[in-house]
Amino acid sequence: MKFQFRHYVFLLLICFLTTFVFLLVGELNEGRQGLSTDGHVRGRNITILLWHWPFGRPQSLKGDVCWDNHRISGCHLVDQRSLYSSADLVVFHHRELMTGKEKLPINLPRLGEQKWVWLSLESPDNSGHLKPFSNVFNWTMSYRRDADITVPYGKLLPQEGEGCAENSTKEVVTEEKSLLACWVVSHYNPKHKRSLVFQSLKKSIPVEVYGRWRRRGLAPSNLLPTISRCYFYLAFENSISKDYITEKLWRNAYQAGAVPVVLGPPPEDYKAVAPPNSFIHVEDFTSTEELGNFLHQLQLDKERYARYFAWRHNYKVKLYTDWRERLCSICPHYHSLPAQKMYPDLEAWVRS
Ligand SMILES: *[C@@H]1O[C@H](CO)[C@@H](O)[C@H](O)[C@H]1NC(C)=O
Ligand SMILES: *[C@@H]1O[C@H](CO)[C@@H](O)[C@H](O)[C@H]1NC(C)=O
Ligand SMILES: *[C@@H]1O[C@H](CO)[C@@H](O)[C@H](O)[C@H]1NC(C)=O
């Protein structure tokens, strides 16, 4: 009894200490960025005009969207083209330009410091020809870390104090897991690298396949519970390119509580955004057989397997799915973005 009580006090102490450290770090960060974190404090709102809605699906911009939903002040999102002349930024989503559904208002004058922003979350393979977009854009907005505005598919946020004992490693590990490796695939293309790796890997280990390809589509509410029954999730990107790491990692694997086996950009790109020892990269093995053996052994070694979830003590997954949130995220960085810039050859940048 006495021991348990001391144990409890000790845990509580750790929790308090962690909270304190997080708060302190938060304060320091805020202090460093000073007053330049949004438009508001500089006395004027930043107006962002979205020229057309991505995939033709408009969303409501009623009220002060950035403040109401994301606590970002001084950031005014609009979609009325009549406000063009008062826009600090005009954002163009690439897909509709590429398909010709929308056109650039190329003969409208650019007033003062107005920036035209190229927005795309697609990989280069799915971006078509970009030569027509030379000498047009001032800033890029993409999942790439070297874009002017980086809009990742997801990221990890420090877990603030209160989450301390929640969702711990133990919970994930003791969850019912009955399948070694799982994959969800809708558009199967036998020529994709991921298909070749899958075909070869399934010779050494069983892989449970879901998704439209196998007519085993999963309803959104069923996706994470299904994957949570798997030790490993094949977070294989459909396109292999720099920084192209999608919700296959953030949602399907991390949120479901399966260890991601990743195929995509090189390990360095993953290491830059994901915690060490939280994923298994296909390229770190000389063959799929070696990878299969590794997964097999790891599944049997509960302690070692659990270490792949250690990050969950300190971080939680943040997914980005709302275009408005992505647009709002420009404002806190606005004043540190290059004042003068243009992309003479967007194609070259995209393919670089
Ligand atoms: C900025 O926008 C907010 C919300 O729309 C508005 O209340 C405020 O008056 C604006 N500030 C300036 C300086 O225009
Ligand atoms: C913890 O798990 C619960 C239910 O399993 C979930 O609702 C909650 O979002 C999780 N919290 C974090 C910080 O991941
Ligand atoms: C934005 O790009 C255009 C076209 O490339 C260029 O003429 C203009 O000077 C740039 N504006 C700024 C503020 O960088």
CA of 156 to the centre of ligand 1 (A): 31
Query: How far, in Å, CA of 255 to CA of 278, rounded?
Result: 12
Residues 170 and 282 in one domain: yes
Cα(330) to ligand 2 centroid in Å equals 28
206-239 pLDDT per residue, tens? 999 999 998 999 999 999 999 999 999 999 999 9
Closest C-alpha residue for ligand 2 atom 5 = 167
**29 pLDDT exceeds 90?**
no
Mutation test residue for ligand 1: of 38, 40, 45, the one with most atoms within 8 Å of CB: 45
Query: Which atom of ligand 3 approaches the CA of 341 most closely?
Result: 14
Active site residues: 122
- Find out whether the beta carbon of 79 lies less than 6 Å from any atom of ligand 1: no
Using the predicted structure, report yes or no on whether residue 10 has a pLDDT greater than 90. no
- State yes or no: pLDDT of 174 exceeds 60: no
138 lines ligand 3 (CB under 6 A): yes
Q: Identify any residues that bridge with 149 across adjacent strands, giving them in sequence order.
A: 141
Q: Do 38 and 74 form a contact (C-beta atoms < 8 A)? A: yes
pLDDT at residue 14 is higher than 90: no
Contacts of 31 (CB under 8 A, 6+ apart): none
76 lines ligand 1 (CB under 6 A): yes
In a shared domain, residues 187 and 309? yes
Identify whether residues 125 and 109 lie together within a single domain.
Answer: yes
Structural domain harbouring 291: 155-319
Is the CB of 109 within 6 Å of ligand 3? no
User: Quick check: is 256 in a domain?
Assistant: yes
Contact by Cβ (8 Å): 69, 62: no
Ligand nearest to the CA of 343: 3
Same domain, 311 and 326: no
Ligand lying closest to the C-alpha of residue 164:
2
> What's the CA-to-centroid distance between 11 and ligand 3, angstroms?
56
Q: How many domains does the chain have?
A: 2
| Whether residues 200 and 160 fall in one domain | yes
User: Each residue of 52-76: pLDDT tens digit?
Assistant: 999 999 999 999 999 999 999 999 9
Ligand nearest to the CA of 118: 3
pLDDT of residue 249 exceeding 50, the answer is yes
How far, in Å, is the centroid of ligand 1 from the Cα of 45?
6
Same domain membership, residue 188 and residue 75: no
Residue 344 lies in a domain: yes
Per-residue confidence (pLDDT) for residue 213, from 0 to 100: 93
Q: How would residue 41 be classed by pLDDT, with cut points 50, 70 and 90?
A: very low
Nearest to 180 by CA among 296, 301, 306, 279: 296
pLDDT reading at 120 higher than 50: yes
Please provide the DSSP assignment of 55-89 as one string.
Answer: GG------S-HHHHHH---SEEEE--GGGGGG-SE
Ligand 2 surroundings by CB, under 6 angstroms: 163, 166-167, 316
Assess whether the C-beta atom of 131 lies below 6 angstroms from ligand 1: no
Does 252 lie in the same domain as 140? Answer: no
> Would you state the pLDDT for residue 15?
52
Quick check: is 229 in a domain?
yes
64 lines ligand 1 (CB under 6 A): yes
How far separated are the first and last CA of the chain, in Å rounded?
63
Cα separations in angstroms, 314 against 15, 45, 164, 251, 309: 11, 35, 8, 17, 10
